[in-house]
Chains A and B, each alone.
Chain A
Amino acid sequence: MCYMKNTPFHKLPPRAIRVWQMGSAIGNLFFFGIPAVYAAVFGTGSFHFWIVLATSILILGLWIFTVAFLPFLSWKNWRYAVDSNEIDLKRGVLIKSRTLIPLSRVQHVDTRQGPLLRWYNLATVTISTAATTHEIPALDVVIADRVRDQISKYARLAEEDV
């Protein structure tokens, strides 16, 4: 696109894939509860057996997909750029989207870290405007701090009222 200004886009660190894999491997275990509860309620008689089996296989397939492929795909599609005027976020595996946040609209920015992210020495940068909240997930802690400070510095310079 000739008319788009060339902003240097950054990728997330490859460690993000590991974190997301771990996260969805644990988090999506929950879905196995569905066939388990079904089996507990209806038993595994001839007809119910097939339903339990089918849902188990379906959920197992989804689980493998969200653990083995999805984190890689979403890492591959994530890009972010911060310059003195805007924050530009590109993401999405199936539905690709690109969000532009003028820095003068940024109300506050912070970094947060769950136990899993801390284990991998990563952090998430959260950007809030008066209307929405966006995040750049799983950045290296040092880079996350730098991005946060950069955004807050630029946002101060671009200060305007809501």
Chain B
Amino acid sequence: MFDFQRQHPVAAVSRAFSLIKGNLVTIIVFLVVGARSESFPFLWWIGGGFAFLLVAGVANWWRFLFKIEEGELHIKSGIFVRKNLYLSKDRVQVIDITSGVIERLFGLVRVDIQTAGSSSREAAIDAISLDKAREINRLLRDEDADSEQSEKESVSNVKEFSLPSKELLIAASTSGSFGIALSILATVFSQVEPLISESQLFEYLFDVLPSQTDFVFFVTVVVIFVVFAWLLSFFSTLFSYGNFSLTVKDKEMVITRGVFEKKRVTVPYNRIQAIHVAEGMIRQPLGYASMHLESAGYGDEKGTGSIVLFPLVKRSEVLQLLNEVVPDYQKEMDGLKLPKRALRRYLFRSTFLITAAIVPLYFWLNLNNWIWLIPALAMMWGWLKYRASAVGWNEGSFIFRSRTLSKSTAFINRNRIQNITISQSPFQRWRKLCTAEIHVASGDRGKSFSVRDLEARTGLELMDEIKIKKGPEEVSEPFENSNRKIKLPNWN
């Protein structure tokens, strides 16, 4: 560990493979189209491409050196331009150990060392043995040198939570990645569509569905699409959250998950920026929620820094679990609902656009009366958003609750708040309302939690609460004389 060393040679191959994986759809389409042309140079191109990738992979592997010295990770990389990356362990936010299918064949893992800011994306070691990864994890993580000792001592404090398979199935079938799956399908379809439409498939379909109108055909296609998207999201959730377990230790928590690609994320407690609990549209009626945490590392590929703390848990058990996992967060406090006059704004905002679009369509196209169900649903959505919105605070802890599609309850501590913005539009000024938005560090861009149409006075009190107290800490009872007072988070 204290001398420069290389990754396992498999890194050369796995890098080439990850490049292929990243452009999989394009490559498949290219192959399918190319194979039809049956021209000789095409195969040369493919072969040459693979050879180039392999050579680049080997060169990259050869020139990639890393060592850890005095709590500092030093990575040298780059084939022609040499890059030296120094990463101090004080800045490490999250350590992420992944093993994909290829790596697992060789008993290897990939280590991502995440710090705040995106430059640490380069601090990733593609393929090393699990033992070495563990050692890196240990060297970069522990405060004291005799960590081996402390690790043994703290074994008694280790608690482990896993996801029962019943809940895994519910999580998979109600997963919110449905929309993402739909868009992936649409992308694939748009790439493959020219091939299908040329073939006899469409004519075949038309033959199978004899004397059907275009409308029925259209509906069938949509239904097939939706079912496929659902299956895709079902299995992708199943595979990425299968074998889920959350291990709580003294100073950190370890989240492991994945069936084929195993992921192991280590988050130190003092790096948690915020916690939020999401109750999805389908999950909320079933009484389930998912728990997430925000870290300043880059998190997933989208760079949001959100990490799933627990994929699915009964709403009535959320508080209990949070108490076990993050005991230093205050979870229950008094809060304020929105004033009644905000309801009108919520209803208006959610229905205005859709109604304005539907009214002319209704008269021009002579649409069915059922179309008015859409504004009614939008109105209900507005009411739900109004109902969900609330804000509460107590001694430097804050709860922001709001809804876009899913209802989200965020727990934020004052020392993690990067900034707060209170804003008022002219209408809000007239109604004496305001919007409060809090930013916390998360991934590359940070994450914001906001509540719209708060009482203007509440907004200012909130801002005052976030200010660093200059005098002695006064015990504030901010909601004592308000008739909009509620208990947060109120999950029982």
Quote the shortest CB–CB distance from A17 to chain B (angstroms): 22
Inter-chain CA distance A24–B338, complex, in Å, is 39
Residues A100 and B460 in contact, CB atoms below 8 Å apart: no
Q: Of all chain A residues, which has the CB nearest B423?
A: A97
| Complex interface: chain B residues within 8 A of A86 (CB) | 467-468
Q: Which of A1-9, A38-46, A58-66, A118-126 is the contact stretch?
A: A1-9
Q: Of all chain B residues, which has the CB nearest A91?
A: B423
Residues B429 and A96 in contact, CB atoms below 8 Å apart: yes
Inter-chain CA distance A92–B421, complex, in Å, is 12
Residues B424 and A95 in contact, CB atoms below 8 Å apart: yes
| Complex interface: chain B residues within 8 A of A96 (CB) | 423-424, 429
Task: Indicate with 1 or 0, residue by residue over B413-426, a CB within 8 angstroms of chain A CB atoms.
Answer: 00101111111111
Inter-chain CA distance A70–B445, complex, in Å, is 29
Residues B420 and A132 in contact, CB atoms below 8 Å apart: no
Number of A interface residues in the complex (CB < 8 A) = 26
With beta carbons under 8 angstroms apart, the residue of B425, B440, B467 that contacts A100 is: B467
Residues A5 and B441 in contact, CB atoms below 8 Å apart: no
Task: Tell me if B's interface is mostly helix, strand, loop or mixed.
Answer: mixed
Within residues 254 to 278 of chain B, which ones have a CB less than 8 A from any CB in chain A?
270-271
Inter-chain CA distance A7–B408, complex, in Å, is 34
| Complex interface: chain A residues within 8 A of B441 (CB) | 129-131, 162
B466 at the interface (CB under 8 A from A): yes
A102 at the interface (CB under 8 A from B): yes
Within residues 401 to 458 of chain B, which ones have a CB less than 8 A from any CB in chain A?
415, 417-426, 429, 439-442, 445-448
Inter-chain CA distance A4–B460, complex, in Å, is 8
With beta carbons under 8 angstroms apart, the residue of B90, B420, B422, B470 that contacts A85 is: B470
Residues B446 and A130 in contact, CB atoms below 8 Å apart: yes
Inter-chain CA distance A100–B441, complex, in Å, is 15
Within residues 88 to 104 of chain A, which ones have a CB less than 8 A from any CB in chain B?
92, 94-102, 104
B463 at the interface (CB under 8 A from A): yes
Quote the shortest CB–CB distance from A70 to chain B (angstroms): 16
Within residues 38 to 79 of chain A, which ones have a CB less than 8 A from any CB in chain B?
none
Residues B445 and A99 in contact, CB atoms below 8 Å apart: no
Inter-chain CA distance A101–B440, complex, in Å, is 11
B301 at the interface (CB under 8 A from A): no
Residues A102 and B426 in contact, CB atoms below 8 Å apart: no
Residues A99 and B296 in contact, CB atoms below 8 Å apart: no
Residues B467 and A132 in contact, CB atoms below 8 Å apart: no
With beta carbons under 8 angstroms apart, the residue of A98, A160, A162 that contacts B463 is: A98
Residues B296 and A3 in contact, CB atoms below 8 Å apart: no
A134 at the interface (CB under 8 A from B): yes
Residues A100 and B461 in contact, CB atoms below 8 Å apart: no
Residues A85 and B468 in contact, CB atoms below 8 Å apart: yes
Residues B424 and A102 in contact, CB atoms below 8 Å apart: no
Size bin of chain B's contact surface: 20 to 34
| Complex interface: chain A residues within 8 A of B418 (CB) | 101-102, 105, 129-132
Known: A131-B419, A131-B442, A132-B418. A95 touches B425 (CB 8 A): yes
Known: A97-B423, A129-B439, A131-B441. A5 touches B116 (CB 8 A): no
| Complex interface: chain B residues within 8 A of A94 (CB) | 425-426
Inter-chain CA distance A86–B424, complex, in Å, is 21
| Complex interface: chain A residues within 8 A of B477 (CB) | none
Inter-chain CA distance A99–B419, complex, in Å, is 7
Residues A5 and B296 in contact, CB atoms below 8 Å apart: no
Residues B466 and A102 in contact, CB atoms below 8 Å apart: yes
B146 at the interface (CB under 8 A from A): no
Q: Of all chain A residues, which has the CB nearest B466?
A: A100
B464 at the interface (CB under 8 A from A): yes
| Complex interface: chain B residues within 8 A of A104 (CB) | 415, 468
Known: A85-B470, A131-B441. A3 touches B420 (CB 8 A): no
| Complex interface: chain A residues within 8 A of B296 (CB) | 130, 162
Residues A130 and B116 in contact, CB atoms below 8 Å apart: yes
Residues B419 and A100 in contact, CB atoms below 8 Å apart: yes
Residues B464 and A102 in contact, CB atoms below 8 Å apart: no
| Complex interface: chain A residues within 8 A of B270 (CB) | 161
| Complex interface: chain A residues within 8 A of B470 (CB) | 5, 85
Quote the shortest CB–CB distance from B29 to chain A (angstroms): 34
Q: Of all chain A residues, which has the CB nearest B446?
A: A131
| Complex interface: chain A residues within 8 A of B425 (CB) | 94-95
| Complex interface: chain B residues within 8 A of A100 (CB) | 419-421, 463, 466-467
Please list 19 pairs of residues, one from A and one from B, whose beta carbons are closer than 8 Å in the complex, sorted by A's number: A3-B464, A85-B468, A86-B467, A92-B423, A94-B426, A95-B426, A96-B423, A99-B420, A100-B420, A100-B467, A102-B418, A102-B467, A104-B468, A129-B419, A129-B446, A131-B440, A132-B418, A134-B419, A162-B296
What 7 new A-B contacts, CB under 8 Å, besides A130-B116, A131-B445? A94-B425, A95-B423, A96-B429, A100-B467, A130-B296, A132-B418, A160-B415
